[in-house]
Every structure is written in C-alpha cells, then in structure tokens.
A and B are shown apart, each in its own frame.
Chain A
Amino acid sequence: MTGRAPTLAEAAHPFTGFAVTLAITLLAFLLPAPWGPTLLYAIVLLLVMAAGVGRAARAAALICLPLWGFLFLLHAVLGGGAHLSIGPIAVSRHGLELALAQAARLGAVITATLALVRSFNPSRFLDAVGVRGWPFAPAYLLVATLQAAPRLRERVGRILEAQRTRGLNYHGSILVRIRAVLPLALPLILGALTEVDDRAMALDIRAVNSGRQRTPLSIPVDHPADRIVRWSSLLLVVAAAAWRLAGSMR
C-alpha cells in the first residue's frame, strides 16, 4: 500500500460529515446576527484545518469573494438608515451589520460544504447505508448523480470541440451564442437519454431491485467519537432553536 494517511475528515464515519454540515447550515441562520454567524465562521475555519481539509477554506473564500462584494455594495453602500463613515465612504450602519452577518453565513456554509465534498467517499457511503439496512435506491441515486455530473460536463467540452471543427461559431454577439445552444445541447441531451437503457440493464444485472439487504464489502467503523460529534451537532441545533424561539416570545 502506498499513499498518504487519511485525514481526520476522510477517516470519520460517512454520516458524520453530513450531520456536521447540516448543523452548521442551520446554526448559521439560528445564531443571533451579526456576531453569531461571524463566530461560527471562525470555528468552521478552525475545524476544517484540524480535520485536514483546510484547502476547502481557500476554495470557499474564492467562491465567496464576489458575493461578499455584492453584499457590501447592496446593503452597506446602497442601504438606507443611519450612516457612518469608513474612510472616504459613508455606509449604512444597519446594512453593514446585515452584510457582515450574511457574509459570515455564506463563508461558514460554503466552507463546510466544500470540506464535506472533498472528504466524501461514495463507496464508503454506500457501505454505511447498507450496514444500517436503509433503502439502497435513494443512496445510489445520490452517489450516481455525483458521479454522472462531471462525466457529462466533460462531454460538453468534447461536443464544443467537435462542433467547432464542423464550423459552428459560438463566439460573438449574444444572438450568435444563443443560436449555438441548440447544436450543442441536442447531442448532449439525446446522447444522455440513449445511455439510460445501458445503465438500467447494468443495475438489473447487479440485482438492485431484488429488495434484499446488500452485503457491504468493508464496513465503515462508527467510532464513539463519531457518535458524540453527531449527537452534539443535533443538541447544538436544538439548543440554538429553543434559544431563538424563547427570544422571539419575550
């Protein structure tokens, strides 16, 4: 065996990452703004680094940058209400708080999601579903979808190249580009539909519809630490929701 040792995120039980990401998403909207989401984002950054998926934080920041810019422009610069001066520009105080809270929410959720995707192992996930005795079809649907999307995206690149060599122009005015959609989309869609038969047959051969419980090849270990993390995530969400509810009834 060669290769690096699995990171903490990769070694964790496949359900743990999903539970934590879902909890972070809910907490981002339940915690009081603007400091709750900001603190949550800071914690998420520390967590992904500790879990060995720190590169997800950088990728998430790249996605977030234009969104943070729009938030600042839309709410702080163009927002109403009392204004305060930051250097040469006057910004809305309420808008700035709103932009900060929403920016932190986006940062926390996108970072957690990308960390989950980077540590996700489809076959371990299917094995974990099999061990629990949960229905195979929905889990397969999720995994097959995750695998089909990049394949079809790659096919788009090949169709673009093929149609260009046949003389299709897809650069220029918007009308030229709209006109190019059809000769590019038709081979993609019709090609995908003709693939359906092959895939259905492959699933039948593997007895997917037999209804019997599947035997996992290797059982993912559900450590006590995994269970503690999952239950703690649930408890945190329930506590935050109860706190928020109590606050709104006061």
Chain B
Amino acid sequence: MPLAVAINVAMSFLVNQLGLPVYLDTVGTVLTAVLVGPLAGAVVGALSQALIALQVGTFMLAFIPIQVLIALLAGLAAWRAGFASPGRAIGWGLLVGALAGGSSSVISYWVFAGVTATGVTAITTLLRGLGLTQVQSIVFSSIGTDLLDKTLVFLLVALVLSRFPQRLLGRFPLAARALGR
C-alpha cells in the first residue's frame, strides 16, 4: 500500500515535470482497486490524500471521499471487465471523471470557496471572467479537468495491466477479470 500511495505522488510529480494540465494522482488508487480490491484501493486513496494534506495543508483531507469514490468505481469497472480494451477503459474513465468531478466541485465550493491547491483554480477564474456564475465556473472546471484526468488514468492502468508479467497477474484474480480473461 505505501508503494501504491508513492505511485500516486510520483505520477503527480511526473506530470508536473512534463507540464501537463492533469494530475494523474489516482493511478495508484485505481491500480490497487483493480489488483487487490476496491476496499484496499479506498485505503490507498485515503492515505494518498493524507500525504497530499501533509504536503500542502490538512484541509486537503476534505477530498478523501473523492479518492474513496474513485476506488469503489474502479473496483466496479474491474468487475465489469472495464480494462479489457482501450475503448472500455476510456468509457469508464469518462464516467468516473464525471462523477468524481461533480462531487469534488461540491467540496471545492463549500470548503475552499472555489480556490484549491491545484491548477483547476486558474480555469475556474478564467470561466468566471468569461461571465459564468461562481457555481457554474467551479462545476465546469472541476468536471472538465476530471474527465480528461480520469480518462488518462484508466487508459494508463489498462496499458499497465496489459503489460503486466503473467507471473504477477496470476496472483490477482480481479485484475484478470478486469482484462476480460
């Protein structure tokens, strides 16, 4: 589990280095949910958020429910062979992105007044400047960035699983089911 959390943190660091407008900080959460199960994924998600909170402020703990939601949905996706092809992974990524983005916009509005420690705030400000209301700006920016982010996360996990050593895959029955085998 610590390594899965560290994958979340390292992936977030990697996209920062590449200057990409996404986070990819749930790769470890989704991977654990697919390999071990949604509850383990939820623990990894909660721990990752706690680690982020220790780096940028404990108020980030408010996003723990979103990490748990993503883990549970990733477990469901694995159960329904959601990683069997890139197309299925993209579909599940879009669904999870919409749900996670919608839920996190509620937290972003009530707890953070629309300003969180992420780049999504710049998009919120831009939309507000274009004339949208504050609520609309927060909801659209949150869902928009999460749709792209979770699609990439699910696609990346599907690719990792497809290249997984057979020796390791045999130890994770849920992962085999996720790949439709």
User: What residues of chain A have their CB less than 8 Å away from a CB belonging to chain B?
Assistant: 21-22, 25, 28-29, 63, 67, 70-71, 73-75, 78, 98-99, 102, 105-106, 109-110, 112-113, 116-117, 141-142, 144-149, 151-153, 155-156, 160, 170, 174, 177-178, 180-182, 184-186, 188-190, 192-196, 199
| Given known A78-B129, A110-B56, A178-B20, contact A189–B7 (CB-CB < 8 A) | yes
The reply to whether B13 and A156 form a contact with Cβ atoms under 8 Å apart is yes
Separation in Å of the B105 CB from the closest CB of chain A?
A: 14
- How many A-B pairs with Cβ below 8 Å? 151
List of B residues within 8 angstroms of A102 by Cβ: 112-113, 115
- Number of B positions contacting A (CB below 8 A): 53
The reply to whether B6 and A156 form a contact with Cβ atoms under 8 Å apart is no
Partner of A98, one of B1, B59, B113, B117: B113
Residue in A closest to B5 when the chains form the complex, CB atoms: A145
Contact with A along B35-66 (1 / 0, CB 8 A): 00000000000010011011111110100000
Separation in Å of the B35 CB from the closest CB of chain A?
A: 8
CB of B80 closer than 8 Å to a CB of A:
no
List of A residues within 8 angstroms of B164 by Cβ: 190
A170→B17 CA distance, assembly (Å)? 9
A17→B148 CA distance, assembly (Å)? 38
Separation in Å of the A15 CB from the closest CB of chain B?
A: 15
The reply to whether B2 and A145 form a contact with Cβ atoms under 8 Å apart is yes
Separation in Å of the B92 CB from the closest CB of chain A?
A: 19
Partner of A192, one of B7, B58, B112, B168: B7
The reply to whether A70 and B125 form a contact with Cβ atoms under 8 Å apart is yes
A110→B7 CA distance, assembly (Å)? 24
The reply to whether B5 and A148 form a contact with Cβ atoms under 8 Å apart is yes
Partner of B27, one of A63, A74, A189, A195: A189
Separation in Å of the A139 CB from the closest CB of chain B?
A: 12
| Given known A149-B9, A155-B10, A160-B17, contact A193–B58 (CB-CB < 8 A) | no
CB of B11 closer than 8 Å to a CB of A:
yes
Partner of B156, one of A74, A105, A146, A182: A182
26 A-B contacts (beta carbon < 8 Å): A25-B61, A28-B59, A63-B56, A67-B117, A70-B122, A71-B115, A74-B134, A102-B112, A106-B57, A106-B59, A109-B58, A112-B58, A116-B54, A141-B1, A145-B51, A149-B51, A152-B10, A153-B9, A177-B20, A182-B159, A185-B156, A188-B11, A188-B14, A192-B3, A193-B3, A195-B3
A142→B51 CA distance, assembly (Å)? 8
Residue in B closest to A143 when the chains form the complex, CB atoms: B2
The reply to whether A113 and B11 form a contact with Cβ atoms under 8 Å apart is no
CB of B114 closer than 8 Å to a CB of A:
yes
Separation in Å of the B10 CB from the closest CB of chain A?
A: 4
User: What residues of chain B have their CB less than 8 Å away from a CB belonging to chain A?
Assistant: 1-7, 9-11, 13-15, 17-21, 24, 27, 31, 47, 50-51, 53-59, 61, 111-115, 117, 121-122, 124-125, 128-129, 134, 152, 156, 159-160, 163-165, 168
Residue in B closest to A199 when the chains form the complex, CB atoms: B3
The reply to whether A149 and B117 form a contact with Cβ atoms under 8 Å apart is no
A110→B57 CA distance, assembly (Å)? 4
The reply to whether A142 and B47 form a contact with Cβ atoms under 8 Å apart is yes
| Given known A110-B56, A174-B20, A193-B168, contact A152–B125 (CB-CB < 8 A) | no
| Given known A181-B156, A188-B11, contact A141–B47 (CB-CB < 8 A) | yes
List of A residues within 8 angstroms of B114 by Cβ: 74-75
List of A residues within 8 angstroms of B115 by Cβ: 67, 70-71, 74, 102, 106
Residue in A closest to B20 when the chains form the complex, CB atoms: A177
The reply to whether A188 and B113 form a contact with Cβ atoms under 8 Å apart is no
List of B residues within 8 angstroms of A98 by Cβ: 113
List of B residues within 8 angstroms of A180 by Cβ: 18
Residue in A closest to B44 when the chains form the complex, CB atoms: A145
The reply to whether A190 and B113 form a contact with Cβ atoms under 8 Å apart is no
A70→B116 CA distance, assembly (Å)? 10
List of A residues within 8 angstroms of B31 by Cβ: 189
List of A residues within 8 angstroms of B53 by Cβ: 113
